[in-house]
Amino acid sequence: MADTLGRILLVEDDPKDVELTLTALEDYNLTNEVVVARDGEEALDYLYSRGSFKMRTNENPAVLLLDLKLPKIDGLEVLQTLKSDPKLKMIPVVVLTSSREERDMVASYKLGVNAYVVKPVDFHEFVNAIKELGVFWAIINEPPPGSVKRKQA
C-alpha cells in the first residue's frame, strides 16, 4: 500500500533530488508517506487513478510537492490541470524548484499554487526547508476532505 498510497506526492524527475528529499523527511518518519512521480504525466496518472495507478484508492494526497522542470508534462501544466479540475483543485500544491525566476513564481501563483519554495543550494538549509514543509503540510495542516488519512502512530 505504501508505494501507491501516500499523503505526500513528490513530483521530481531527478533521482538525486528524490533521495535528498527523502533523506530530509526521514527524521520525522514521513518517508513512508511519500509517493514519487517522476514526471508530469505520472503525477497526473496518479491523481486521476489511471495507467499504473488504476488500482489506487480514490483519496487525494494531503500535499503535492511539485518540481517545475519536468519531462513530458512540466510542473506548470500539472498545476494548471489540477487547479482547473473541481475534484482536484482543493489539493494543496507546493512548488519546489531550483528556479528563482520571477516569471515562474508569477505563473505559479496565478495558477493558484499554495506555496513556492526555492530549493536552497546549502544542504542544511535544504534539509530544513524540506523538513518544515513536510511537517507543516503532512502533520500540522488539516488537509481538505477526501484526503488520505494520517496513519495513527
Partner 1 sequence: MGTIGRAGLATTVGAAIRRFVGGGALATRSPPPRPLPPLKAARIAIERYGVAVAAVAVALGASLLLHRYRIERLEFPIFLFELALVVWYLGLGPAILAVVLSSLAFNYFFTEPLYTFYVNRTDLAYYIVFVLFAMLLTWFSAVRRRFERELLQSRDELQKEVAVRTQQASLLELTHDTIFVRDMDDVITYWNRGAQELFGWTAEEAVGKRSPQLLHTKFPIPVEDLREELVRASRWEGELERSKADGSRVVVASRWSLRRDGLGRPLAILETNNDVSDRKRREEEIRTLNQELGKRSSELEASNKELEAFAYSISHDLRAPLRHMVGYTELLQKHASSTLDEKSRRFMATILDSTKRMGNLIDDLLSFSRIARTETRETTVSLQQLVKEVRDEIQPETSGRDIAWRVGELPELRGDRAMLRLALVNLISNAVKFTRKRQHAEIEIGCLEKKNDGVTVFVKDNGVGFDMKYVNKLFGVFQRLHRAEAFEGTGIGLATVQRIIHRHGGKVWAEALLDAGATFFIEVPNRR
Q: Which stretch binds partner 1 (CB under 8 A): 36-44, 46-54, 79-87, 119-127?
A: 119-127
For position 17 contacting partner 1 by CB under 8 A, the verdict is: yes
**Distance (Å, rounded) from C-alpha 148 to C-alpha 71?**
27
Q: Which stretch binds partner 1 (CB under 8 A): 1-9, 27-35, 44-52, 118-126?
A: 118-126
For position 20 contacting partner 1 by CB under 8 A, the verdict is: yes
**Distance (Å, rounded) from C-alpha 89 to C-alpha 81?**
9
Site map for partner 1, 64-103, x if CB under 8 A? ----xx---------------------------xxxxxx-
**Distance (Å, rounded) from C-alpha 141 to C-alpha 105?**
23
Q: Which amino acid is at 116?
A: Y
Q: Which is nearer to partner 1, 113 or 129 (CB)?
A: 129
How many other C-beta atoms can be found within 10 angstroms of the C-beta atom of residue 23?
14
